[in-house]
Amino acid sequence: MILLSLIVVFLGISYSSSEPVQAKRFTVNLDLPPQERWVKIMQEYRQYTPTIIKDVQNFFPKPLLPLIDRLALYLDKYFPAPYPDELRGIASGLNISLSNAVLLNLVYDFSAFCTSIVAQDTQGNIYHARNLDYHFTADLRKLTFMVDFRSKGKTVYSGVVFAGMIGLVTAQRPKAVTITLNERDQGFLWENLIMAILRKEAIPVLLEIRQITATENMNFSQAVTLLSKVPMIADAYLIVGGINPGEGAVITRDRTAVANLWKLDPPTRWFLVETNYDHWTTPPPSDDRRDPAIKAMNETGQENVNGAALFKVLSIHPVLNKKTVYTAVMSAKNNGLFNAWVQQP
């Protein structure tokens, strides 16, 4: 009986500790000078920066760190405005070096394991959701928040970020487009850094996503075209959702060109699931999040798909796993749906 009681208590603790936590939400005022936009937000996270900087530097190959110093030295040459000044504000708010601020914004370009789903219901509404999985997960959970970029009192676009990031891996422009980024593990880290140094036009994809969602009159087709053409530092999967029926796509990118464009085609292909492997290949048994997600989507059915249903699919094991940092759900047509939860699996 004592053993049974202990098991019941343990199961209760395990269940309560797995409940997702609503991510904090902040506003970035785009009407402020770029160097001032992030400072107050970053000051709230300053206590965590020594740990995360240590994590990132340990993850990053030490011989490549001098290249980051060079990027920081010529920041205005490599990054388009207003991002250099925003990075200076990030460094000030977090009380870190400009090199470390640059490093925080590059490292997510190189290694983020994720699951993204874009789906269409029977009424033609598009839903988009994602899990973001990463290294040093416990620390990143403390740094995760949503941000609304506002101008003249209006939300222009929104995203989910980690403290220190100015680019977006999860983004929405209301009544226009949603975008998520998944890592595509091709090549070597040093190749990505050389691309960043030698090709001025190849900006981090996180900044490109932000540029696109910040663009007035942006739509799904334009976003797909831009994300298909832009020179990139690293290979990636870019998952895009729109506001009209059929507007969902996975863009499989090489650094310089599109490897594959995979689109929704209802009613037969009413959802797309992308993890971190080319969709026309078989994922490794050690990391097969795709097949459980597909099975759960088929069991859900197109007639039942909505934001809550996608959250449920992303909450099953191993789609949700010990490296999952957060889950986000959005729909450009219904901008009020945009939300994110920090996971505690």
In degrees and rounded to multiples of 5, residue 214 shows phi and psi of -85, -10
pLDDT for position 14: 37
Q: Is the pLDDT of residue 194 over 80?
A: no
pLDDT-derived band of residue 198, with 50, 70 and 90 as boundaries? Answer: low
Identify the CA nearest to 111 among candidates 270, 323, 331, 334: 323
The mean predicted confidence, pLDDT, of the chain is 90
Could you tell me the residue ranges of all domains in the chain? 30-105, 112-188+204-342
pLDDT-derived band of residue 4, with 50, 70 and 90 as boundaries? Answer: very low
Q: Any idea which residues carry the catalytic annotation?
A: 114
The answer to whether 104 and 164 are in contact (CB under 8 A) is: yes
pLDDT for position 3: 44
Class of the 112-188+204-342 domain? alpha beta
pLDDT over 90 percentage in the chain: 73
Edge-to-edge strands, sheet with 248-253: 24-29, 144-151, 154-162, 170-173, 177-183, 236-241, 248-253, 258-263
The answer to whether 234 and 253 are in contact (CB under 8 A) is: no
pLDDT-derived band of residue 235, with 50, 70 and 90 as boundaries? Answer: confident
Burial class (CB in 10 A: 0-12, 13-18, 19+), 285: exposed
64/306: higher pLDDT: 306
